[in-house]
Amino acid sequence: MAETVLVLNAGSSSIKFELFEIGPQDRLASLFAGQIEGIGVRPRLLARTRAGAVLAERTLPREEANDVEGAMAVVERFLDETLDAPPIAAGHRVVHGGPVFSAPVAIDEEVLATLETFVPLAPLHQPYNLALVRALRRSRPDLFQVACFDTAFHRGHPALADCFALPDWLWEEGVRRYGFHGLSYEYVAARLRELDPELAEKKVIVAHLGSGCSMCALRGGKSVESTMGFTALDGLPMGTRPGQLDPGVVLYLAAAKGMDPEAIQHFLYHDCGLKGLSGISNDLRVLLSSADPKAAFALEFFVYKIAQMTGWLAAALEGLDGFVFTAGIGENSPTIREAVAHRLRWLGMELDPHANAAHGPLVSTPASRVRVYVVPTDEELVIARHTLALLRRGGDRR
């Protein structure tokens, strides 16, 4: 069997994994992907080939995957049973690279220690990302591991775009706008160069719309502004997160409602967004099928904010030539795409109904002043590519 690269993405209750085969000229092809969900509660392993064939599907004893380390041990056993040889490297999605890391990096103890200092910047993601790295370092100490950051793609911003109107000492401590979903934007920017090289060099907005949502302004394929800032709470409303919020609301929750920081954090990450607005669900499909007026309002608010943020990002770009929808909602919901385009008709955006229903890739009409694409994202492939590139360079951390 050919050599392989493993890609890992750990959350508080799940581990997602994907295995890539290394082909001629180091071309990567996905062999299978899977996840363990319900860690610590009712863990379940599911793995499928790229074609959809089920390789594994079973509920696990709770004690077998009671935490990230136990769940990773299950993944390792599955890989040992499935592969002739173990992966030669593992690439990790790590949410926050802080002000230090602007590119993927080979992981050693020094890097791990630095990444631990960014836990307060991403408390719901970073600890689990790093726990998975440490688990693999204990079980397979010789395995080459790479951290790929959601923040790195945005690190070329000028200070003007990343700064808050706060005292300079907070900037020095790392309180600044970082932007997230960078691995997704990196893939989309590269894919757009293949689909429309001319447009890729111009002013483009990419809307990553999924359970987490953000938008990114690209000029020549490089990030110049993003709707997400210091944390993954900012910008667009999401499944359970509020997006843009007056900080006075947080003060109100603390002073008037007596909520401590932990309670506020849980509330903002889990009880707001489409779920909070509708009082029904954070699942867009449920809201689209509901006759409840609150569901309709939540969807209208979602579309309104996407259109509003488009204007903000277009101002940063000083114009707009293209718009790309990506991620779960962006790729799969013609209804949301059409509603967004309708709100942006003042920009000259016009969708072709048939192309939109077919999910593109080009979904705008020839007369549209803004070219609109649907581009399925592939963050895992980006991680695999970076991991293999670093391995081939002999683990050079630069």
Residue that the structure tokens 């603390």 belong to: 254
Cα 241 from Cα 264, distance rounded (Å): 12
Is residue 150 flagged as an active site residue? Answer: yes
Phi, psi of 172 (to 5 degrees): -65, -30
Residue that the structure tokens 């790392």 belong to: 174
Dihedral (C-alpha) 43, 48, 52, 53: value to the nearest 10 degrees? -110
Selecting among 150, 162, 196, 234, the annotated active-site residue is 150
Phi, psi of 160 (to 5 degrees): -55, -35
Q: Where are the beta strands (DSSP E) in 220-362?
A: 222-226, 322-326
Q: Secondary structure of 206-241 in the HEC alphabet?
A: EEEECCCEEEEEEECCEEEEECCCCCCCCCCCCCCC
Give, in degrees to the nearest 5, the angle at Cα 157 between 154 and 158.
165
Closest CA to 242 of 274, 283, 285: 274
Radius of gyration of the chain measured on its C-alpha atoms: 21
Tokens of 42: 């009712």
> Active-site residue numbers?
150
